[in-house]
Every structure is written in structure tokens, then in C-alpha cells.
Amino acid sequence: MPRFHQRRDRLRRLLRKTEADAILVTNFTNVTYLTGFTGDSSFLLLTPKDEIVLSDPRYTQQLGEECPGVDVAIRPTGTELIDTVVKVIKAAKIRGLAIEGGSMTVAFCTELTKKLPKVELASTTNLVEQLREIKDKDEVAEIREAINVAERAFAVVRASLRPERNEKEIAWELENQIRLFGGTRCSFTPIVGVGPRGALPHATLSDHCIAESDFILIDWGAKGRLYVSDLTRVLVTGRISPKLERIYGVVLRAQQAGIAAIKPGAVMKKVDAAARKVIEDAGFGKRFGHGLGHGIGLEVHEGPNLAANKERKLKAGMVVTVEPGIYLPGWGGVRIEDDVLVTRTGHEVLSSVPKEFGDCVL
């Protein structure tokens, strides 16, 4: 498939800047990105001219279906994958091998060094990940579909909310609806926080019911075929309090300021600062304790990151979340999150769930 060839060629160009002859890709998600293969327990050896997926007999047919034209080395039953890796590297006469420092275990690296004493290993960081940051049109289309599935699922779940429903049941129903609308699964375990539990940015699911509070925070996403979405909304399920309306308004204005700052060349920490200033000016700066957003794609958390310490610039093709929040222990939390594409001229908000305060009242 042309796009996978292009991705591998881009990685080869990055590899030329190192002293290595080849790279062993051991991050399974990176293998998927470079080949289209969706299984696990498999590596990719990329040389200047060849690409070889190293796998096991479970995936022989799947490899042929998902990445035709890519050479495959299947480890014999009863042997370890490292033995096949060593055999293929020796046959390729590789002298300098780049490895993924973020995914290869110390134990595997130590064993590889023992078995390949004449091969010099060079640890690399984020070579493939930096390619993954810039989405092509097919990737953007898949993210759009994942957003569409998530939004349709949310609409059904929202309409079915009842006082007696608890956090676990809401999360389970979200996953059910995502599958019914064609998604593979949730892109992560949904975060559902009733009232005070919304103050936990990564709250685990509990038996707390909607009736226990006047509002609920729901953070969810769908996985399409390969790509994911990530959204958050707060719903008012009971009395509308002035405090909730005020804090919600601050967070919404902060999100709008962050989104407005997104364009090619914008420094990531300045995008974060645009949203953070709104919250700080309202007196809640200490209650916004995480970065403004992160990249999404094959994974729900990948580069780039919109945070106060990120000096890099945004580029067209990046897709990021924008999700400011205010969290008050004992009271609750408000977070509003959308998925945003950096375009050549600015940005496009890909998600469309209504988020004005009046739209969030059940």
C-alpha cells in the first residue's frame, strides 16, 4: 500500500542521520503505522532496501492479508522471537542497528547484545513517533469517523440517562453504543464522575448514581478501525447552581482561547498559556493541574503535547485535544474537551457535541 511505503521511506531518511544500517522497530503500534499489520508480538526490521516483519505462526495468514508485499520471517514453533531476530540480522549483514529505546526491554537488549557481539546497537527515541504526529488525509478521515462514532454513541447515552444509573452503567452503555455504531471499542475506559468525583481527572468507575449530584463529567472516546477520538462534556442533571454555571463559563472561555491560538507555527506552550491565563485570571489557576492537551491518532495519548514546558511549534496535520479543566476537591470538576486539526491556515475543530452551558442541561 502506497502510504505505508511512504512512511517507511520517511523513516529511512531519518535513519540516514544516524550511524545505523537498519532499525528494529519493537513498538507494536509503530509496526502497525509502518506496515498496516494490526497484530502484536511482532517486530519490523527496516534496512535501506528491505522491510521484514518478524512474527510467529499465529499471524502468518493475517500478515499476508494486511501487509502484502512486505517480507515476513516467522519464528518456528518452540523457539523465541529473539532467535529469529538474530538470524535475520545476521543474514542481512547489519553492523549498526538502531533500536527503539522507549519500547525495547533491558532484558531483550542485553540478550541481543550477547547474541550479536559484532553488531553495534544504537538507542533512538521517537523516530517513528515524530512521523506519526503529522496525519495524512487518510488518517484524518479515520479520526473523523472515530469522532462521529463517539458522538453518536454519546447522544444515545445522554438521552437514556436516569437518576438511578451509576458511573459503571453509563460507561458500559457508551461502549455498547460505540460498537453498535461500528466502532471497534472505546479508545480508553470512559471516565464518568458524578459530582465531587469529577474533581478526579482520571476517576475510576464507581457505583455512584446520577441522583447523588447535580452534574456529571463524562470523558470518552471511540476507536474506529485503527484511529481514536477523545472527548469530554459536563452534563447538568439536577439544579443549576450559580457556582457551576460560573466555573463552566470560565472553562469554556479557556478552551475557546486555546483553540483560537492553534495554527501552524504556534508554540505549544503559548497555546497552553492562552487557555491557562483565562483560568488564572478567574482565580482558579492552582485548580488546573495538567497540560492543555495531547495528540491523538493510533493511540489516545501521543505527541505532540500542549503544555507549559513544550517549546516546539505546531505543524499542519497534527491533531490535538484541547481540554482545560477546573477541579475543586469536595465539589467536583469541569473539563471540556474537543479534537482539533491543525490546518495549513489555522485549525479545524473536528468534534461537534454542543457545549454552551444551556446545551448541557438535561
116-140, pLDDT tens digit by residue?
999 999 999 999 999 999 999 999 9
Q: Which residues of the chain have pLDDT under 70?
A: 1
Q: What is the dihedral of CA 299, 202, 261, 243, to 10 degrees?
A: 150
Pairing of strands 96-100, 231-236: unpaired
Which amino acid type is present at position 4? F
CA-CA distance, 174 to 152, in Å (whole number)?
Answer: 10
Eight-class DSSP state of 181 = T
pLDDT value at residue 1:
63
Q: Domain 137-360 class? A: alpha beta
The CATH number of the structural domain formed by 2-132 is 3.40.350.10
Cis peptide before 304 (omega within 30 of 0): yes
DSSP-based three-state secondary structure for 201: coil
Max intra-chain CA distance, the chain: 71
Neighbours of 221 (CB within 10 A): 29
* Domain span(s) for CATH 3.90.230.10 in the chain: 137-360
| Contact present, 320 and 297 (Cβ < 8 Å) | no
C-alpha cell at 321: 485535544
* Domain span(s) for CATH 3.40.350.10 in the chain: 2-132
86-125, pLDDT tens digit by residue?
999 999 999 999 999 999 999 999 999 999 999 999 999 9
C-alpha cell at 180: 453498535
Check: pTM over 0.95? Answer yes or no: yes
pLDDT value at residue 179:
98
pLDDT value at residue 2:
77
